[in-house]
Amino acid sequence: MRPAASAHTHPGRSFQDPAATAGFQAVMRSAIEHKREAQLQVPWAQLRAQAHRLKAEAIGDLDRLLVHFEREFSARGGTVLWAPSARDAVEHVLAICRRHGVSTLVKGKSMISEEIDLNDALQASGIEAVETDLGEFIIALACDQPSHITAPALHLSRGDIGELFARKLGIPYSDDPHVLMTAARDRLRETLLRAQAGLTGVNFAVADTGTIVVVENEGNGGLSATLPPVHISLMGIEKIIARLADLPVFLQLLARAATGQKLTSYTHHFLGPEEGRKAYCVVIDAGRSEVLADPKTRESLYCIRCGACLNVCPVYRRAGGAAYRSVYAGPIGSVITAQLSGHRHGAELPFVSTLCGACQEECPVNIDLPHQLVHMRSRLAPDARDGRKGKAIGAAAFLMQGRMTYALASALVRVALRLAPACRPLLPFLSGWTRERALPALPKQSFKAWWKSRERERPR
């Protein structure tokens, strides 16, 4: 079986390439409709406010809660390993694999494993890593990039998957979902039974009980964690919640926001290893402390990775997930990608937003994504200034600083806009803008002139 693909190794589409097929759009619409129905069954606004408060409390008390979690998890026989960087996390996993002679490792869905490029490191060490989540399994077979937080293979049709399975698994072509699912299950069950270790992500880590909570719909997460003798959980530090009593609030919101379900099919509570087995939890920082240190971006750590902000984002819906070239697409991806990868990657993403605010309205933890995007734009402005857009913004800032320069620039822009349609063939850079949209008709008066005349005519 082919090892899992790394999200960072495959070039994505660009934002100029519309990826939104009719099928893609239909799934988005259906997710939103299901969510609306599911929201009506609970006091949504109240739960949302409660979740925001609980996350704020947990993130504000992170240092104490993480230590508490370690104490409780260790008391039940588990081992907590701290990973300040992505590299440390990878080293921990490799060391565990070496210690237990792991040659095959099965993976439940874990976005953070993709964030830290774990698959590449496992492959380089000769360890077979097999994705057991159906969407991730498909993506790995296709050597493609996940396109959605909760539905990684959303951009592929069942026909695409049928062709892929025929080519890679050697089964007769079919686009029947039941046939495809059965083929994947047969292949994965065999791997699950022979793997020496299983790795999963963590949806919530409960500090007061030391519980690791994993929610999923396919049963693969539970099998990955319990069939092999070694279970490795990977979690970002922000997954902590203070009390088990807080969990129902998040479970109700997560399932409804993600898929419109009342609850996901499986909610696993891992309370440490059974006799003769091993459980490790690798707690990863990898840039999160910096996010925590900036009061204006801290809220992005409240994210429960439901994917709802992607479903309503007009940019994501048109461009698809691959355009973001990040494990985390959509509005939340645009906020966190550059922060988690230390500004080496994703500096352009906060600028890829209309700031319409739909993401915040949908977010079950009410994260103020639009303001986070604006803040990230200002933080990343020095990087952005290197680009053409950055230079244009710098020039606009200069012109707007003085009354005279502003008046002169406004007059020149009006002349330029009048000439623009005629000059288009001579100015190829304009076509980048006008290829996708028509230039709006120029009003007879500028806003300033209109305002002045309005003031003059207003009865006193």
Residue 300 Cβ, how far from ligand SF4 at the closest point, in Å?
Answer: 7
Beta strands in 229-322 (DSSP E): 230-236, 240-241, 266-270, 278-284
Tokens of 394: 């710098």
Indicate whether 80 belongs to the interface with ligand SF4 (CB under 6 A). no
Stretch of 138-146, 315-323, 361-369, 407-415 contacting ligand SF4, by CB under 6 A: 361-369
The residue (of 37 and 176) whose beta carbon lies closer to ligand SF4 is 37
Q: Choose, by CB under 6 A, the member of 202, 241, 303, 338 that binds ligand SF4.
A: 303
Rule CB under 6 A: say whether 51 interacts with ligand SF4: no
Q: How far is the CB of 256 from ligand SF4 (least distance, A)?
A: 11
Name which position in 140, 230, 367, 373 contacts ligand SF4 (CB under 6 A): 367
Decide if residue 306 touches ligand SF4 (CB under 6 A): yes
The smaller minimum CB distance to ligand SF4, of residues 58 and 105, is found at 58
Residue 307 contacts ligand SF4 per CB under 6 A: yes
Nearest to 129 by CA among 105, 112, 109, 153: 105
Q: Does 373 bind ligand SF4 (CB under 6 A)?
A: no
To the nearest whole angstrom, how small is the minimum distance from the Cβ of residue 309 to ligand SF4? 3
- The pair of three-digit structure tokens given for residue 221, joined into one six-digit string: 């997460």
Give the shortest CB-170-to-ligand SF4 separation in angstroms.
Answer: 37
Separation in Å, CA 197 to CA 5, 73, 191, 261: 19, 19, 11, 30
Among 198, 201, 222, 364, the residue binding ligand SF4 under the rule CB under 6 A is: 364
99 exposed, middle or buried (CB, 10 Å; 0-12, 13-18, 19+)? exposed
Contact predicate 165/180, CB 8 Å: yes
d(CA 330, CA 308): 9
Q: Which range, of 140-148, 191-199, 231-239, 357-365, touches ligand SF4 by CB under 6 A?
A: 357-365
Report the nearest approach of ligand SF4 to the CB of residue 294 (Å): 17
CB of 34 to ligand SF4, least distance (A): 15
Stretch that binds ligand SF4, among 223-231, 347-355, 364-372, 399-407 (CB under 6 A): 364-372
Strands 211-216 and 266-270: antiparallel
How many chain residues are in contact with ligand SF4, going by CB under 6 A?
A: 15
Tell me how far, at minimum, the Cβ of 230 lies from ligand SF4, in Å: 30
- Is 362 near ligand SF4 (CB under 6 A)? yes
Instruction: Give the range of 199-207, 230-238, 356-364, 382-390 binding ligand SF4 by CB under 6 A.
Output: 356-364
Residue 440's Cβ-side half-sphere holds a number of Cα atoms within 13 Å equal to 4
Residue 305 touches ligand SF4, criterion: CB under 6 A: yes
Cβ proximity to ligand SF4: between 241 and 306 the closer is 306
> If DSSP states are collapsed to H, E and C, what string results for 203-250?
CEEECCCCEEEEEECCCHHHHHHHCCCEEEEEEEHHHEECCHHHHHHH
The whole-angstrom separation of Cα 165 and Cα 175 is 10
According to DSSP, residue 155 is labeled T
- Closer to ligand SF4 by Cβ: residue 128 or 133: 133
Site string for ligand SF4, 161-200 (x = CB under 6 A): ----------------------------------------
Give the whole-angstrom CA distance, residue 311 versus residue 32. Answer: 7
DSSP string computed for 44-76:
HHHHHHHHHHHHHHHHHTHHHHHHHHHHHHHHT
Q: Which of 308, 319, 347, 376 is close enough to bind ligand SF4 by CB under 6 A?
A: 308
Q: State yes or no: residue 349 binds ligand SF4 (CB under 6 A).
A: no
273 near ligand SF4, rule: CB under 6 A: no
Q: Which is nearer to ligand SF4, 354 or 445 (CB)?
A: 354
Residues in the chain: 460
- The long-range contacts involving 312-317, CB below 8 angstroms and separated by at least 24 positions, are 312/32, 312/358, 312/359, 312/361, 312/362, 313/353, 313/358, 313/359, 314/354, 314/356, 314/358, 315/15, 315/352, 315/353, 315/354, 317/20, 317/24, 317/25, 317/28
What does the binding site for ligand SF4 look like in residue numbers (CB under 6 A)? 149, 257, 303-309, 332, 362-365, 367
